Every structure is written in structure tokens, then in C-alpha cells.
Chain A
Amino acid sequence: MADDILRIRTPIGIDYTWSSGPGSVVYMRGLENGKLIGRRCPACELVYFPPRNGICPRCGVLLAAEVEVGPRGTITTFCVVNVPFLGQTIKIPYVAATILLDGADIGMQHLIQECEAADVRMGMRVEPVWKDKSEWTPSLENIRYYKPTGEPDADFDVYARHL
């Protein structure tokens, strides 16, 4: 009966072409070759990794010099994810951390594994575990996850201004 109809499903599909933009090419080519390439802002001289859009958002200018960063870094802060959600490809619980790579001035997001979630700490030193070279693409997904290095934790003062 028509008056029973309260809801209909109308799936929407549109395909989009996504451009990373030339500002990210150096970074992505670096990843393809197992290197972490950031770029320095010519105005504030800080190093961005990833160099999103090749722009320093604070100064509004194009980033310049290429700078190899990492591979090790420091966890500045993190989240233990216990909630499943659509499209999630990682088993819960997992730790999503903000990692300040050595030589970079801004943290980036990645996974922490080979360590209990409860043992992850702010200031913990970590290093990347890469996928097999044959699987490398121009993506940060080439790094499977980060794992603790066993080095002593960084002092809070060292990364406090990155929170």
C-alpha cells in the first residue's frame, strides 16, 4: 500500500579524480623509494612532513628545500581506538599516534604495533616497519606501522610545543 512507504533507498555514486598536486610529488616519490622527504618553509624555516599541498599553512607560501626526515620519531600524543567503524581496515584495539619524526617540525599520524596498547606512552621513541619493497607505492601505507625502538623516552619539554 502506497501510504505505507515512509523511506526509500536512493544510492548515490559519483566517481572523482583526485590530484595530490605537484607540491606533494617529491614526498610521494620519496615514499615509493623508501625515503621520508619533507620540505622546509622558506619563511619560518620549519620542516613539514608530509608537505601537504607543498604549502606552509602558517605563512601561506610554497615550501622549498627538500629535507629527509626520520626514520625514527617520538610519539607526541595518541588515541587507543576501540570503536569499529565502516571502512576500517585495521583490527581494534589499535593505537593511532601522532609521531614527530626526527628533523620534522610537525607530527604525522600512524599506527603503533609490536607493543601492548597500554604500554604506549607520550614521548615514546618509535621506528617504522616497512612493507616488502615489492609492495611499495607512492603512499604512506608503505610503512606497515611504527614500533618502539627501546630508546629512553623523550622529555616532555622536547615535544610540548608540538601538542
Chain B
Amino acid sequence: MALHRCAVVGVGQTHHTSCRGDVSIAGLVREAVDRALLDANMTLADIDAIVIGKAPDMLEGVMMPELWLTDSLAASGKPLFRVHTAGSVGGSTAIVAAQHVMSGLHKRVLTIAFEKQSDGNAMWALSVPLPFSMPVHAGAGGYFSPIVRSYIRRSGAPSHIGAMVAVKDRTNALKNPYAHLHEDHWTLEKAMESPMLWDPIRFVETCPSSDGAIALVLASEDVADKMPGKKAWVHSTAMRSEPTMFAGRNQVSPRAGEMCAEDVFHKAGITDPLKQIDAVEMYVPFSWFEPMWLENLGFAPKDQGWRFVEDGVTEMTGALPVNASGGVLSSNPIGASGMLRFGEAALQVMGKAGEHQIEGARTALGHAYGGGSQFFAMWVVGSEKN
């Protein structure tokens, strides 16, 4: 339990798309920042400190881009901090920002995550070949597909589960104006016909490559209490890491993920997550990870996560709606994807998610992971103070 309370008082994001050729990296970032500030009824002058996260600098070819972004964020004279924890970075960044408030250090903190994949070549940047090794990998799909196969073998999940998740998330995305993919033609039947890219992962079960940014304004309790708008109170945050590969490592359900979930629920006073959590924004870049994370996070018993999917538990109308926003499967600006999960969770408990609002959501989980399923970042947010 941290010493001071922190609330999300502003959320802003860009429309995510494959190429925002009309704006520079700075322009993309400012679009999200300006929306978040407008939402919080603040200006940049009100901000005490800024915390920025993004995935590898090589994606855009700018080394430590926050140094350059200082100019467009009018951050001169302020503390500006840069986080990088692989795919979980958006989540970790929001957590580091929240800690600037939960420590009592600052009252108004702006946190930003972005990726402009179209400014570089992500497939190249993520597959730099190392000398003396065997180049068999084919991007992230090539890395995660064998793990999905292991899950299917272990759990006995039927082949259509991945397609079901994909259809659900793509359908949810139709209700989210910011989502990258707005595809209204998916049925389970059509999804099952989608080509196998990285067998057992089908094309429809993979995430797009997006340009996008998100920004959150975080405030201390005294500041938030004086604001009339809706806010999301940060009930708890947690991070855990483990090595990429070691003998005997459970890659399907990494221990770091389980521990992170136990910690974030414990600190938020949640004893029965399935009952007490109203909405989940989960980092699912390949659809099979939804049932896998349901188990890892403790929502579903071991090997039973896929049954939740099959029974519609994770649909918007189900008992545990997962990724009402459409999730990573519908928008993936890599470095921003984790913070989008955290921000969408906040929007749910603020009652500001628009068409993809889960009715009556009071407590929500934001989840992000990165590296070889080894870095985890999570937060629980609520409509009321904890």
C-alpha cells in the first residue's frame, strides 16, 4: 500500500492507424497529450513532471527521443523521465508515473507512450540477426507460436478458440472510434478460414502494426478531489520480471505473471478477482494469449481459460469482459499498447468509454507484458477511492 493516493484525471489517445504520414513523431505525441490535458482541464504549464515510455528506439531510428521531444512538450525546466521495459513499457511507464504521485513527490504528472512504426521498419528493427546464430525466427509471431502450441497441447483447447477471441476483439473494436482495425465482416467461420501465418496462429489472430500515442494525466488526492470530472483511482500497481529462458521455465504461464497478479490484487484488497473485477484490458497481441492470461492472472483454473472464451465469459456481455476496446488485436502501436490497456481500464471505471463502456464498471484491471513473456506490469483502478 503506497503512502499517497493517485488518480487518473485525464485520458487522451490518437486514432491508431498503419501510417500517420500527416504528422511527425512530435505531432503524433502532442495529439494524445493535448487530448489528455483537455480531458483533465489542464495545460502543459500545470504539469509538474513527465514520464515517457516507448519500445526500442530503433523502431523510429531516434535515440532517446524524449530528449528531442522536450521541445514539442514545452518540458524545459521540468523533470522528464524515460522508461523502457520491452512490450510491457506502456504499463511500466504509467506505473513509474503513478509512483511520482504515490510517493508524495508530485501533484500533476503527465505520462505518455507512443510508437510511430511507419517511420521505421519494425520487422527489421526486431529481427537484427546476431552473428553465429541460426536465423530461424520470423518476428514476434515466430517466437510466440510454439508457446501457443504448447498451451493447446497442455489444455486440450479446441482449434477455434483463437479465432473466437479474434472475432470478439475485432467486433468490440467497431465500438471504439480510436481502434486501428474497423472490420465488420468477421464471423467465426470466416476467421477459421484465415490463413495460418505462424501455425497454429492464423492471420486474423495477429495484431496490426500501428502508429499511435496515448497520454494520461495523473493527480494527487488533493488535486483530484477538487476536480469536478470523473476519475479513476489507482488502487494498486505491480511489476515482476524473470529471465527470458532458463531450464524448466514455464513459458505458457510464467511465474512472474502469476506473482504480479497476486501482488496487484492483494494490494487492492481483491480476494476473488473473477467476482470483484468488472472489466479487464489485457495485453493480447495474439488471440490465444487471452485464455493463457486468464489462467496466469488467476481468473480461470489451470487449463480452463479456453472454456471461458468458449462460454462467452469474456464477451462485452459476459461476466468478465476482456478488451472491450478491441485490445492489441485491433491496435498495436507497440510502445503505447501497454498504456492503452491501462488507460482503457481507467476509462471504464470513469464511465467514459463511450460505446464500448461496460455498464456499471467500478473496478478494472490493466495488464501488459513484454520480452519473452517475462516482464509484467499491472494496475487496478476503481471509480471510488480504495
Contacts and interface: CB of A to CB of B under 8 A. Distances in A.
A163 B124 contact: no
Contacts of A83: 138-139, 141, 197-198
B317 to A, nearest CB: 34
A35 B161 CA distance: 43
A41 B249 CA distance: 15
A161 B252 CA distance: 11
Nearest to B118: A7
Contacts of B142: 79, 81, 96
Given A87-B129, A110-B134, A161-B248, A78 B61 contact: no
A57 interface: yes
Contacts of A98: 146
B243 A58 contact: yes
A124 interface: no
B244 A156 contact: no
Interface string A1-30: 000001100101000001010000000100
Contacts of B250: 163
Contacts of A139: 131-134
Contact of A56 (B136, B146, B246): B246
A57 B27 CA distance: 41
Contact of B123 (A85, A109, A138, A161): A85
A96 B136 contact: yes
B196 interface: yes
A81 B248 contact: no
Contacts of B132: 20, 28, 137-141
A80 B197 CA distance: 8
Interface string B192-233: 000111110100000000000000000000000000000000
B246 A58 contact: yes
Given A12-B61, A80-B196, A86 B138 contact: no
Nearest to A112: B136
Interface string A123-142: 00000000000000111110
A48 B248 CA distance: 11
Given A7-B21, A20-B131, A163-B251, A82 B150 contact: no
28 contacts: A6-B21, A6-B22, A20-B132, A46-B247, A48-B247, A57-B246, A58-B248, A58-B249, A77-B146, A78-B146, A79-B141, A82-B196, A82-B197, A82-B198, A82-B199, A83-B198, A85-B138, A93-B199, A96-B138, A96-B146, A105-B247, A109-B137, A122-B149, A122-B150, A140-B133, A141-B132, A141-B134, A163-B250
What 7 pairs across the A-B complex have the smallest Cβ distances?
A: A80-B199, A57-B243, A79-B145, A105-B247, A163-B150, A46-B247, A58-B246
